[in-house]
Amino acid sequence: MKAFLHQSFCFLVGLMFVTTAGAATIEGIVLTDSGPAEGAKVVAYRTFADLTAKANAVVSVEGGKPGQYRIDLDPGKYYLTASSQRQGQSFFAYHGLNPITIADAYQWIPFFVLPETKLNCEVGYQGIGGRVLYKETPLRHGSVTAYRLDDEPFRGMGVLTNSLPAEGTFWFDLTPGRYVVIARQRQEPDAIGPLKKGDLFCYTPTNPIEVNPAHACQVDLRCYPRDDLDHFLSQDVLDPRGKRLAARKDSSLEKASIQETGRGGAIDGPIAIIAGRVINLDGQPMPGLVVSAYPADALPLFQMYVLRFKADSIAKTDDKGFYRLEMRPGSYYLVAREKVGDAPNEGEHYGLYEGSANHSLSVQGGETKTGVQIVVESIMP
């Protein structure tokens, strides 16, 4: 059993720090599985390209206790990483919700850092392979995805997505280029949107990985459980949360919702609304399905690869099959299905809006379109 530390991990505030005018204060703690990571730092980048180049970085300052940090950021979206050193071993974390939206309010963001992995590339079959590990044990029943750099922010099905076998290994045959490889395991297989508490996110700091002709690259992806300190810490490690846990949760990313992730940022001007119902071929309502609105202005006809893009808005149907979407004005492809971020599976209920020749629906700012029906059917082999 873990021994619980009852003292509060309080941060030094007031005159000890100077906050940039207009900036938001972000605080948190960086943890290894053995407890707080002393001397850890958190770094914020505006783009993944900056992260790759280690350019235009905003670096945290240390807090009042081991592993604590503070960083002041102007409102916007950031890629956040954390790193530390212990006994000659380097540790690293890439936050699973990157890019994270920083508003003008205080936020508490913890990081679970993991031992850094090395990349080994040599002459061989062209592609990327390796293992996915949680606490040095092969991960099974998760999925691993290879993304191109222009797939940023690296959600959905990417270029290729594979299910993990019992031994936790993977291999992708890939054309030459640079790729980001990420693995995930959800406790609820049909869950959508941001990872929830206890879901595993797996990353390697060797991303992006360059695939050269006739070269094979091997790498390990290590995982952490989102917002689940009890499972992350090793046995008999002091619990560092202290008495401020509830207040920190209120300021954390734990409550990130499907709408926050599904909508493409803040909407300037009047929003557009599309509402309707999802039914099956027998006219029965379909509760619990996901309705996604994919931008269609630049695409004359719906193509299946659209499903790996980030939807502009996402909603679930209620127990009567009704849904409601909010989005920017424009044209959209509406898709109803049981999940997101993957190609439709055999047996999955799936349907596309059929109200126009190219399957798109247009809405103006301030306009509300109701009664938009989508019919789904089970995917055949």
DSSP state of 286: -
Which CATH architecture group holds 259-378?
Sandwich (2.60)
β 272-280/127-134 pair status: unpaired
Question: 316 with 258: CB under 8 angstroms?
Answer: yes
Class of domain 14-110+228-256: mainly beta
- Cα(219)–Cα(114) distance, rounded to whole angstroms? 14
Amino acid at residue number 32: T
Per-residue pLDDT of the chain (381 residues; tens, 9 = 90+): 333 333 333 332 332 333 445 688 899 899 998 889 988 999 999 999 999 999 999 999 998 888 899 999 999 999 999 999 988 899 999 999 899 988 877 888 899 999 998 999 999 899 999 999 998 999 888 889 999 998 888 987 788 988 888 899 999 999 999 999 999 998 876 666 677 888 999 999 999 999 999 999 999 999 999 888 778 877 656 556 555 555 565 666 655 543 333 344 445 567 889 999 999 999 999 999 989 898 888 777 787 777 766 677 888 888 889 999 888 899 999 999 987 766 777 888 999 998 888 888 999 988 888 889 999 998 876
Residues with Cβ within 8 Å of 252's Cβ and at least 6 positions away in sequence, in order, are 107, 108, 109, 110, 227
Q: Residues 126-179: pLDDT tens digits?
A: 999 999 999 899 988 888 999 999 888 898 778 898 888 889 999 999 999 999
The topology (CATH level 3) of 120-225 is Immunoglobulin-like (2.60.40)
**DSSP-assigned letters across all residues of 145-208:** EEEEGGGTTT-SS-SEEEE--TT-EEEEE--SEEEEEEEEE-SSTT--SSPPTT-EEEE-TTPS
DSSP state of 307: G
Name the residue ranges covered by the structural domains of the chain: 14-110+228-256, 120-225, 259-378
DSSP state of 213: T
pTM summary value = 0.64
